[in-house]
Chain A
């Protein structure tokens, strides 16, 4: 296995606040990596930097042996880096099928886009099947439930055939049924993709994760297997400490 993504000595400063502080982070080809950490730890910011939404103050991001410095967002997507957002964004005026088709068509030359869509390309067919959204294909994405939107977003990603998928809290706000389905979806995608998943939920983590990186206050706290991470006293402090504080806060208010 070779490293698909290598982040070296990465820092980003927002108005004097170090949101990411000297992070080294490597993901191998074919890996399913979970990225966890309390609110404000810098998880989303790390993904923002990898995908070009935020510029790092120092450090490098190397994807498949090539530096991403100076590459714009859509150029990174063309290299094979796809992401979802913490709050899902699908195109509500387009149907599920059109959303997927748009995602799948991004490598077509522009003049080809001037033709109308005829039929369904294989990648879209595959994405509909994987996400189980086939029955909703001709419905506008605006009518989808929260869970279905997340699946559509994931479907749009896989329809693009990316080499690295970055999923920002895909199960946040989902019912336990939806979580289970998303977990299965994740497992099946991870079979033939490299995936980084940001997730808070310890239960979800216990079920579906193997390798975990814990981020805390912009730094990597620990990296290892789920069991190692869960057993680590610092992680317990970060998470349980929070939980205790929140419980105390709840009790007061």
Chain B
């Protein structure tokens, strides 16, 4: 039994396959995102891209939970919202400068609710962006995965959670701004939030955060934990008989995906200037899952790509053919799930393989 814990021996040295392609693509994309795009895009378009990159952070988490871990989570909007509202509350209090936030005055609230008070502190608010989604996901995961709730049941449960979150937010007008959510922000850590320079800085921040989280997720996927996660996805019961508790593995992964969504929500607020129930309910949660499927859920890059592509598609189609978008999205989802389960990334890999074969023939 002690042999299991012994130091690695090098009896069969494995030649590590030369993995320069992945890092090369990453660096190229990073240069495009950080240097080329800010030069190329006018402020409005850069703002749109920043928004899509926020969604890409959520998608990255979905890719981990669903693509790697087999947990189809239809309620990432909940965590996106928790992060978003934490940031929104801080910005509102900051703008109010000691007074009540504007929407509270309008809805007749006379004293700052106790829940709000600590969010005036930026350190606390930023910590909550991570802590609240983490705690909620760990609690939920511990309850649900221990009881071996999975598959469609888990999906429906998370979706119900997103619906419940919307009802809760809409119902508490004085506390949450109701349907309108939190908006009308002016100051962002000493900068005019609407200023071009602030927005460019925000765009760069979002891009860097996405890059860092991507690398972290990439490391996770390649670690032993990542192997274990795949094993849980493909044979949860078998994993139990290897001496691991799959509920722990799933809870940790789900919590990571929740934290990613929370961070994305917090970045979204200054970028777009609003957080409201409509941005985090069932539909936006579903749209992101569709985006991940379209991009390719089994690859982290697919999830990110899907979010950006579907973001652009949505903007384009809702400008050109607003009614068709919903149907188009549904059709695309069905098409991908039935014909190309590995999404754009999978199709691209297949095409590359065929080209190479033709070239060598």
Contacts and interface: CB of A to CB of B under 8 A. Distances in A.
B5 A107 contact: yes
Interface string B259-283: 0000000000000000000000000
Nearest to A80: B1
A94 to B, nearest CB: 6
B241 A123 contact: no
B18 interface: no
B242 A102 contact: yes
A115 interface: yes
A125 B11 contact: yes
A103 B242 contact: yes
B8 interface: yes
B13 interface: yes
Nearest to B10: A119
Interface in A114-169: 114-123, 125-126, 134, 137-138, 156, 159-161
A114 B244 CA distance: 15
Nearest to A97: B14
A92 B231 CA distance: 9
A113 B228 CA distance: 9
Contacts of B244: 74, 106
B357 interface: no
A246 interface: no
Contact of B227 (A51, A72, A94, A161): A94
Given A77-B243, A107-B4, A116-B222, A125 B231 contact: no
Contacts of B8: 118-121
A41 B331 CA distance: 51
B338 interface: no
Given A102-B227, A123-B3, A114 B242 contact: no
A101 B242 contact: no
Interface in B220-235: 220, 222-225, 227-228, 230-231, 234-235
Nearest to B12: A120
Nearest to A77: B243
A159 B243 CA distance: 12
A104 B4 contact: yes
A187 interface: no
Contacts of B241: 51, 73-74, 77, 82-83, 85
Interface of A: 51, 72-74, 77-78, 80, 82-83, 85, 89, 91-94, 98, 101-108, 110, 112-123, 125-126, 134, 137-138, 156, 159-161
Given A51-B241, A89-B235, A160-B242, 9 more contacts: A74-B241, A74-B243, A77-B242, A101-B227, A108-B5, A113-B228, A121-B3, A122-B6, A160-B243
18 contacts: A74-B240, A78-B243, A80-B1, A89-B237, A102-B242, A107-B4, A113-B223, A113-B225, A113-B228, A114-B223, A114-B224, A116-B219, A117-B224, A119-B14, A121-B3, A122-B6, A125-B12, A160-B243
Going nearest first, the 8 A-B pairs with the smallest beta carbon separation are: A119-B8, A77-B243, A106-B243, A161-B1, A73-B240, A113-B225, A113-B224, A89-B238
